[in-house]
Structure 1
Amino acid sequence: MRLAFALCALAVASFPGWVQARVVGPEEAGFAECNGFFLAQAPPEGLPGPPSHVKICQKYKQEPRFATLYSAHDKIPLYAAFKYTEAAPSGEEEKWLVEPQIDDPKNGPEDMMPEAEIASSVENLGENQALTADYVDSGYDIQQLNPSSLHKGDHQAATYTLTNAIPVPSDVRESWDWEVNNLISRALAPNCEKGKDLYLIAGAVPSSAKVKDKVSIPESLWLAACCDDGSKAWSTAFAKQVAAGSRLKELPLKDLEKQLPAGAQLFKDHCSQERNDLKAQEAVQQSAKEIEAEEPQTKKTPSSSQQTTDTKDESGFLRKLWGFFVTPIFKLVQYFCSFICQLVQLIISILCQAVQNLIQAVWTFLKGICGVLLSIFVNLVQAIICILNGIASNIYGVLMLVYRLLSIPLNLLVDIVCFPFYTLGAIPKVLHDIASGVGGLFLLLIDAITNFAKGLSYIATSILGRCLPKMSSEL
């Protein structure tokens, strides 16, 4: 029983692995969770994409570490996008890992794995990617496009994948790490808040020459940098030919993009060129020139092809021994552990779902109770406010009535009170005036009649006076 648990632990440690590389599907935007390694989360434009190229989100301990665009045709990465963490000497050499999903998308494990441990379980292994055997006796060394020397700890361990490897001559392998490390740590990062807002892309341009007629030998290597803190930005680039004695040379970012496929744009808006910080860019260029003038301090180490050749016979014997005796038992334990792990994952998933549903139910209940209590409180407050408002309105009305009563003039009140007495006192005078008017009217009528009678009498007398003399004369 203890042996089974020990083998199970060994299988879990070896196969699920800490190093992971998720192949990003064509339907997903950019590099999925690895989009953060690009300025404004926008990968380079104008470079070839799927299906001949594979987008890989390189992960370690479930955390994204860098992004890689891998060419299944050339068997090398076209570029690797990463952020500068902190340079550190490389530790013990890690096992080179391969990506099973590239060759066997349906059945391949989702994790990066040692090549020897999956050689017999993944179909067509090596059809779309390079293997360590492709470098044996080739005269070329395995070189990381994203150098491990730029990082430390988990970030450094994540760089030991063959999807981050290219074949280069020994002198290039010895100088690339030193040049890139010094340019970034001494020229780029110090002028970008110690690399906080520094975005880096290292790339390789494939040539027609191939190692063992399979893995393309890069024609040139390049490094592009963009610093953008939101207010100011600057960019620069470096390139070198893969030839003896060639060094990385500084050049403008646009000049590097012209050397790549037509329409290539490595950073969004050409690294925010409208906010270009000329002073910082000049400081970067000056530091880069000083580094270019120095001689690379390389550490002579046996090439990877030599190391592979020295251990070829021993690894071949061990591999055969593994294949004949250990592999069947190991596979059985692996499948058993895989079943147990899936069962545990299923149980955990069910428990998590149950807990989530319980939490959701409790939250819904508490939310409803709180809503009802809050509604009661709001209605109570509204009722109190309405009562207070009514009382205030009544008090206001009484006060306004008192104010209006107090504001009436005193003379008006006296006149109103005395009005009945004035009315009663005026009645005799009014009656007297009426009587005087009636009497005057009667006298006026008598006077008119008298005057009328006088007028008639005068007229009659006049007429008679004229007629009588004539009558007397005639007699």
Structure 2
Amino acid sequence: PSPGRWIRLCSADFILALCISLFPGFSQGRVVGEDEAGFAECNVFFPGQVPPEGFTEPFHVKICQQYNREPRFATLYSTKDKIPLYSAFKYIKAAQNEEESWLVEPQVDDPDNDQQEMVLEADLVGTVANLGANQALTSDYVGSGYERGLLNPSLLNEEDFQTATYTLTNAVPLSPSLSKTWHRDVGRVVEQALAPHCPSKDHLYLLAGCDSFQHPCQGQGVRCPRCCGWRRAVTLQRGDLTLFKGSCGGDSKTKEKVEAILQAISQIRAGGQVGTNDSQESKESGLVRKVAGIIATPFIKLLELLIYLLVELVKFTFYFLWLVIKRVGSTILDGASSLWSGVVSYLQAISMVLISIPYDLGRVVANISLGFLEIVQDVAFLTYRILRIPVGFILHLAAFPYHSICAIPSVLKDLAAGIGGTFSLAVDATATLPARLLLRGQPHSQAVCP
């Protein structure tokens, strides 16, 4: 059960709750604790700040989605089925879809993680304990045949609000055709059927959810919604419901506005465009449009089926051609790669041989030069040994006259000294001879000298 003030577009897949209130608010994004009421700060994304009640399973996690330190929308997430039960958000301005960058919520898998806002999945690998244990990852959708359908559609948001919608805690598995229909028609319902009746667009509150889950999607850990699309039925929950309150239409014309919304939704289901005037002529033609829509719906469905089959056939054809081209291209590339490797190896071997030729030639020339120098050295040494003795003899012979001439003064000096000595001895001998003869002729006597 849930409180009043919301319209439910119910089906086997989706519940689109559209609420209008007067009290916008501010919040900080985080995984809401069990001891806090509702979605804590994120209650402002609900009319009257009162979220739906009755979701009390232990695997239901309340997330206040935050991006760039600002709250963007609220999500009730099932960690058991790894898909959101619903997302609540405000509609302010639609915008073209930007590039998709899928985000995850760290605290869903790791409650003790201190990151309180969504982060790119690639940036969390290895930093979050048990990443993917309680929430879906991109790998869960790979090869499953399903696309990530946004409960809070990106086309109903702009700038950072749009970037924040690309979180896997805001996505449910949808078939490609249903995903396209959902994202197209929900934008038309909001822009053409609801926004014109609420002058202050920042007071238009929306809540989108999905129905029960039956089986895992193609064996993945993510469970798929039960069936079909949101356009199978449109119902209005009544009771104490107040659709347009205060400055957003709380007057006697509320019933007429509700009928206008339902007519606009029926027209969107039929594939038509919705006008924004409430003239009497438009009211009178409403029944005609309903009948035309009922009549045209089977043909539109048939046309959609044919278009879907044609698109799938074209996709299959292109996929088959892609596989063929990929296989042929892979074979050609492998062959070219092998050929290129062989050519490179051959050129490398030839280059090494060609480079080694000058090197070897230089080594041979150097060895020959060194050998020649050794021969010249040996010849010179042998010549020196042969010529060393005669040269010494000749030098000594040539020096003999010089030494002989130089020795004459010394010889003459020595000769003169010898002759002088001889003459001196002769003179001394002659002088002492008479005295000796005289002494020899006299008698010997003892002479005493006084």
Match of 2:43 in 1: 35
3-state SS in 2 of match to 1:193: coil
Structure 2 residue 75 is matched with structure 1 residue 68 = yes
**Secondary structure, in 3 states, of the residue corresponding to 1:70?**
strand
Superposed counterparts of 1:424-439, under 5 Å: none
Among 96, 111, 114, the alignment partner of 1:89 is 96
CA distance in 1, matches of 2:136, 2:29: 15
5+ long unaligned stretches in structure 2: 1-27, 272-299, 324-450
CA drift at 1:110: 2.3
Which position in structure 1 is the counterpart of 2:153? 147
Deviations 1:406-438 (CA, angstroms, capped at 9, x unpaired) = xxxxxxxxxxxxxxxxxxxxxxxxxxxxxxxxx
Structure-1 separation of matches of 2:163 and 2:86: 18
Cα RMSD over matched residues? 3.1
**2 CA distance for matches of 1:271 and 1:155?**
28
- The DSSP-based 3-state class of the residue aligned with 2:231 is coil
Change (3 A) 1:27 1:279: same
3-state SS in 2 of match to 1:59: strand
Provide the residue aligned with 2:20 in structure 1. none
1:84–1:272 Cα change, 3 Å: closer
Which residue number in structure 2 is paired with residue 291 of structure 1?
Answer: 268
Over residues 427-452 of structure 1, what are the superposed CA-to-partner deviations in whole Å (9 max), with x where a residue is unaligned?
Answer: xxxxxxxxxxxxxxxxxxxxxxxxxx
Asked whether 1:26 is paired with 2:18, we answer: no
- 2:34 maps to 1:57: no
CA contact (8 A) 2:140 2:220 kept: no
Q: Say which of 234, 256, 261 aligns to 1:250.
A: 234
Query: Deviation of residue 204 (structure 1)?
Result: 0.6
Q: CA deviation at 1:214?
A: 1.3
How do 1:105-116 residues align onto structure 2 when only pairs under 5 Å count? 105-107=111-113, 109-116=115-122
1:171-227 C-alpha deviation (Å, 9 max, x unpaired): 01111011100000000110122534322110011322112241110125xxxxxxx
Match of 2:135 among 121, 129, 134: 129
Partner SS state of residue 217, structure 1: strand
Instruction: State the one-letter code of the partner of 2:178.
Output: V
**Structure 2 Cα separation of the partners of residues 105 and 157 of structure 1:** 23
2:337 corresponding residue in structure 1: none
Structural mapping, 1:7-22, within 5 Å: 21-22=29-30
- CA distance in 2 between partners of 1:167 and 1:120 (Å): 26
SS in 2 for 1:26: coil
1:210 maps to which of 216, 219, 223: 216
2:46 partner letter? F
Q: Deviation per CA, 1:61-99, whole angstroms, max 9, x where unpaired?
A: 222211100001110000001111111110122x21111
Q: Distance in 2 between matches of 1:195 and 1:113?
A: 29
**Contact 1:33–1:64 (CA under 8 A) maintained in structure 2:** no
State the one-letter code of the partner of 2:259: E
Please report how far the alpha carbon of residue 270 of structure 1 lies from its aligned counterpart in structure 2 after TM superposition: 3.5
Q: 1:182 aligns with which of 188, 196, 201?
A: 188
CA distance in 2, matches of 1:86, 1:272: 21
Distance 1:193 1:32 in 2: 28
Preserved contact between residue 188 and residue 195 of structure 1 (Cα < 8 Å): no
| TM-fit CA distance, 1:52 | 1.1
What does residue 257 of structure 2 align with?
Answer: 280
Instruction: Indicate how the Cα distance of structure 1 residues 53 and 286 shifts in structure 2: closer, same or farther if over 3 A, else same.
Output: same
Deviation at 1:49, TM superposition (A): 2.6
Which has more radius of gyration?
2
Partner amino acid, structure 2, of 1:157: T
**Partner amino acid, structure 1, of 2:156:** L
CA distance in 2, matches of 1:104, 1:216: 21
Give the aligned length.
249
Give deviations 1:345-368, integer Å, cap 9, x for gaps: xxxxxxxxxxxxxxxxxxxxxxxx
Rate the CA distance shift 1:288–1:107 in 2: closer, same or farther, 3 A: closer
Deviations 1:113-162 (A, max 9, x none): 22222221211111111111001111111111110011111211110100
Query: Is the contact between residue 206 and residue 216 of structure 1 (CA under 8 Å) also seen in structure 2?
Result: no
C-alpha contact (below 8 Å) 1:79/1:203 kept by paired residues: yes
Amino acid of the structure 1 residue aligned with 2:261: V
Percent identity of equivalent pairs = 47
Change (3 A) 1:195 1:248: farther
Q: For CA contacts below 8 A with separation 6 or more, give which structure has more relative contact order.
A: 2
Contact 2:77–2:84 (CA under 8 A) maintained in structure 1: yes
Hey, what's the Cα distance between the residues in 2 that align with 1:272 and 1:91? 32
Aligned partner of residue 81 in structure 1, secondary structure: strand
Aligned-residue offset at 1:28: 1.4
Alignment of 1:435-446 (within 5 A): none
Give secondary structure in 1 for the equivalent of 2:205. Answer: strand
Match of 2:53 among 41, 45, 59: 45
Shift of 1:109: 2.6
The DSSP-based 3-state class of the residue aligned with 1:171 is helix
**8 Å CA contact retained: 1:58, 1:66:** yes
2:105–2:119 CA contact under 8 A, matched in 1: yes
Following superposition of structure 1 onto structure 2, how do residues 263-342 of structure 1 map, counting pairs within 5 Å? 269-271=240-242, 277-294=254-271
Return 129-138 or 107-116, whichever deviates more. Answer: 107-116
User: Match of 2:90, as an amino acid?
Assistant: K
